[in-house]
Amino acid sequence: MTFELTILGSSSAVPTSKRNLTAHVLNAHERFFLIDCGEGTQLQIRKNKIRFGKINHIFISHLHGDHIFGLFGLISTFSLLNRQTDLHIYAHKELEHILENHIAYFERKLPFTIVYHHLHPEKNEIIYEDKRITVETIPLKHRIPTCGFLFKEKPHLRNLRKNVVQQYEIPIRERQNIKAGADFKLSEKQIIPNAELTLPPYKQRSYAYCTDTAYSEKIISIIQNVDLLFHEATFTEQLSSQAKKTCHSTAKQAATIAQKANVRKLIIGHFSGRYKDVTPLVEEARKVFNPVFPAEDGEKYVVELERES
């Protein structure tokens, strides 16, 4: 039951020799969700030893080049490797038009189908759901329609304690009810209370991805209590007017959102290339919130399983 984020690229629009363009991969229960796809993403996927075949869902925050120019090469590579599985792309509807034009010219016929899911970046809505995970959009505030993504485990069931199945000879048909909280009727007279049979469930783990965006308090209620928040911090407060003008955030603003949303851990990134050393951004954020981590290409963040108390 992995819940692990890999940072593939942490630069803003102009990459540096150390920072690739934006892309993250979240491995949630062996679903490998690719989030944004800047130029060079397929190379970063390879370098980080993520298997192309595992990537079936791509989430695109907005249609600025630094978040999507890697799609052309990635789709081309999928095609050359003769991918057969459907590829789901969640993005503003214009991307379909852009990609289909591109594919018609460069790829002719793909051996797989792209299933486009048109997003409405101004709304908070569930866009993906399976047995274990939901993904919803987080409306952001940028120069063009943009949304973040909240990845969240569905509620876990309680876990049966070791040996109780043998001890009370619990039939298979009862186990699901017990995991859901029911007591177990051992005989007409003897009822084993649920607390004796089970451990509390694991907490729902969650990851919120918020870039590119100006400071926006509207997102706070949506990302409340997430385990991991990635929030862009393109500039320090010294350049807050530049942040405002370009609809980006300062490190302090990112930390303020983290603090108000009561998240567990904040990762900042999408750093302007002017910061060769990102210490000033981290220090600025840490004055408001802790813990703060600066995104670095190739770094992984694991959210461990933890039981509710």
Give the footprint of its own copies on this chain (CB under 8 A). 13-17, 20-21, 38-40, 42-43, 46-47, 49, 64-66, 69-70, 72-73, 76-77, 80-81, 98, 105-107
Query: What gap in Å lies between CA 300 and CA 24, rounded to an integer?
Result: 10
Query: In whole angstroms, how close is the CB of 137 to its own copies at the nearest point?
Result: 23
Let me know if 197 is exposed, middle or buried by CB neighbors in 10 A (0-12, 13-18, 19+): buried
β-bridge mates for residue 147, sequence order: 139
The least CB distance from residue 55 to its own copies, in Å, is 15
User: How are the residues of the chain apportioned to helix, strand and coil, as percentages rounded to the nearest 5?
Assistant: 30, 30, 45
Q: In whole angstroms, what is the distance from residue 49 CA to residue 165 CA?
A: 40
A 10 A CB-CB count for 93 gives 13
Residue 68 beta carbon to its own copies: minimum distance, rounded to whole angstroms: 9
Q: Which is nearer to its own copies, 128 or 235 (CB)?
A: 235
Backbone angles phi, psi at 210, to 5 degrees: -130, 95
* Cα distance between residue 219 and residue 222, in whole Å: 5
Which residue from 204, 254, 202 is spatially nearest to 229, judged by alpha carbons?
254
Closest CA to 50 of 59, 61, 41: 41
The residue count for the chain = 309
Residue 86: active-site member = no
Closest to 22 in 3D by CA, of 6, 5, 41, 3: 41
Residue from 115, 117, 156, 155 nearest 137 by CA: 117
The one-letter amino acid at 110: L
C-beta of 32 vs 72, nearer to its own copies: 72
Q: Which is nearer to its own copies, 19 or 31 (CB)?
A: 19
Please tell me which residue in 66, 212, 227, 297 is annotated as part of the active site: 66
CB of 87 to its own copies, least distance (A): 16
Give the nearer residue to its own copies in terms of CB position, either 30 or 105: 105
For residue 137, the SS3 value is strand
Distance of closest approach, residue 99 Cβ to its own copies, in angstroms:
12
Min separation Cβ 205 and its own copies, Å: 29
> Which of 40, 139 has the CB closer to its own copies?
40
- Taking the chain, what is the end-to-end CA distance rounded to the nearest angstrom? 20
| Residues labelled as active-site residues | 66
